[in-house]
Copies of this chain bind each other. A is one copy, B any other.
Amino acid sequence: MDRLDILVTYDVNVTSEDGQTRLVRVAKVCKNYGQRVQMSVFECRVTRAQLEEMEAKLLKIIEPDKDSLRIYTLLGGRDRCLRVHGQDRYTDFDDPLVV
């Protein structure tokens, strides 16, 4: 099945009511679909259906007038798009070297 490399970035306003709870919940959803690469950035390799599902879950959590959620589809795949410097937490589970 075709999968997309996507990037999820978010700012949750933690000074607002329940902000800390929303932040934890957003991260929890993202973890189910991909890998945290920075504090508020996740890379996910998902099917289109998973993308829609994840987006729907996140939209139930965030407060649109307080938080920001951006989902980027990395057309052409992350390997063609990405330059990494410094600390890198990402593991490519599709890489045959990962056992």
Contacts and interface: CB of A to CB of B under 8 A. Distances in A.
B70 A85 contact: yes
Interface residues of A, number: 38
B39 A40 contact: yes
Contacts of A10: 38
A87 B66 contact: yes
Nearest to A76: B75
A66 B86 contact: yes
Given A9-B9, A39-B40, A87 B68 contact: yes
Interface of A: 7, 9-11, 37-41, 55, 58-59, 62-76, 78, 80-89
Given A37-B70, A72-B72, 15 more contacts: A7-B72, A11-B39, A40-B40, A40-B41, A55-B83, A59-B85, A64-B85, A68-B86, A69-B84, A70-B82, A70-B83, A70-B85, A72-B74, A73-B80, A74-B74
